Structure 1
Amino acid sequence: MSDDYVVSEIEKDYILTLLDQGKRIGGREKQEHRPIKFELNFVETKAEGSAIVTLGETKIIAGVKATLGSPFPDTPDSGVITTSAELSPIASPYYESGPPGDDAIELARVTDRAIRESHCIDLSKLCIVPGKYVWILFIDMYVLNADGNLIDAATLASLAALSTTKIPKVKINEEGEPEVLDEKEVLELDHYPVTVTSYKIGKHRIIDPILKEERIADCRITFGFDEEEHIVSAQKGGIGVLKPDELVPIAKECLEVSKSYRAELLKAIEEFKKKGN
Structure 2
Amino acid sequence: MASVALSEAEKVYIMHGVQEDLRVDGRGCEDYRCVEVETDVVSNTSGSARVKLGHTDILVGVKAEMGMPKLEKPNEGYLEFFVDCSANATPEFEGRGGDDLGTEIANTLYRIFNNKSSVDLKTLCISAREHCWVLYVDVLVINGNFNCASVSRIPRVRVLEDEEGSKDIELSDDPYDCIRLSVENVPCIVTLCKIGYRHVVDATLQEEACSLASLLVSVTSKGVVTCLRKVGKGSLDPESIFEMMETSKRVGKVLHASLQSILHKEESLGPRRQKVGFLG
Give how far 1:9 is off. 2.9
Larger CA deviation: 9-18 vs 263-272: 9-18
Tell me which residue corresponds to 1:256.
250
Structure 1 Cα separation of the partners of residues 228 and 52 of structure 2? 23
Structure 2 Cα separation of the partners of residues 35 and 118 of structure 1? 31
| Equivalent AA in structure 1 for residue 84 of structure 2 | E
Structure 2 Cα separation of the partners of residues 143 and 221 of structure 1? 19
Tell me which residue corresponds to 2:77.
79
1:223 to 212, 217, 223: 217
TM-score by length of 1: 0.84
- C-alpha spacing 1:19/1:228, structure 2 compared with 1 (3 Å): closer
Tell me which residue corresponds to 1:52.
50
- C-alpha spacing 1:124/1:251, structure 2 compared with 1 (3 Å): same
The equivalences for 1:130-209 within 5 A come to 130-146=128-144, 150-151=145-146, 153-154=147-148, 158=149, 161-162=150-151, 165-172=152-159, 176-183=167-174, 184-189=178-183, 191-209=185-203
Question: Any conservation in 2 of the 1:118–1:191 contact (CA below 8 Å)?
Answer: no
The equivalences for 1:1-16 within 5 A come to 5-10=3-8, 11-16=10-15
TM-score by length of 2: 0.84
Structure 2 Cα separation of the partners of residues 112 and 39 of structure 1? 24
Structure 1 Cα separation of the partners of residues 45 and 133 of structure 2? 14
Give how far 1:229 is off. 1.8
| Equivalent AA in structure 1 for residue 15 of structure 2 | L
Structure 2 Cα separation of the partners of residues 81 and 88 of structure 1? 22
Larger radius of gyration: 2
Give how far 1:14 is off. 4.0
| Equivalent AA in structure 1 for residue 28 of structure 2 | E
Tell me which residue corresponds to 2:63.
65
Question: Which has the higher relative contact order, 1 or 2, with Cα contacts under 8 A spaced 6 or more apart?
Answer: 2
1:27 aligns with 2:18: no
Question: Any conservation in 1 of the 2:220–2:253 contact (CA below 8 Å)?
Answer: no
Structure 1 Cα separation of the partners of residues 170 and 39 of structure 2? 29
| Equivalent AA in structure 2 for residue 111 of structure 1 | L
Give how far 1:190 is off. 5.1
Structure 1 Cα separation of the partners of residues 205 and 121 of structure 2? 36
Give how far 1:96 is off. 0.9
* Matched-pair identity in %: 27
In the alignment, structure 1 segments of 5+ residues that lack a partner are none
Give how far 1:235 is off. 1.3
Structure 2 Cα separation of the partners of residues 80 and 207 of structure 1? 31
Structure 2 Cα separation of the partners of residues 241 and 31 of structure 1? 21
2:264 to 259, 263, 270: 270
Give how far 1:105 is off. 2.1
Tell me which residue corresponds to 2:227.
233
1:210-268: CA deviation from partner (whole Å, max 9, x where unpaired): 12322331111122221222212111122211111222222111111112211220111
1:247 to 237, 241, 251: 241
1:71-95: CA deviation from partner (whole Å, max 9, x where unpaired): 2111111101112221112322432
3-state SS of the aligned residue for 2:88? coil
| Equivalent AA in structure 2 for residue 197 of structure 1 | T
The equivalences for 1:48-127 within 5 A come to 48-97=46-95, 101-117=99-115, 119-127=117-125
What RMSD, in angstroms, separates the aligned Cα atoms of the two structures?
2.4
Give how far 1:178 is off. 2.8
How many residues matched?
A: 263
Structure 2 Cα separation of the partners of residues 197 and 63 of structure 1? 22
Tell me which residue corresponds to 2:275.
none
1:1-52: CA deviation from partner (whole Å, max 9, x where unpaired): 7x8x352334434433433454323221122111112112222x30001111
Question: Any conservation in 2 of the 1:202–1:218 contact (CA below 8 Å)?
Answer: no
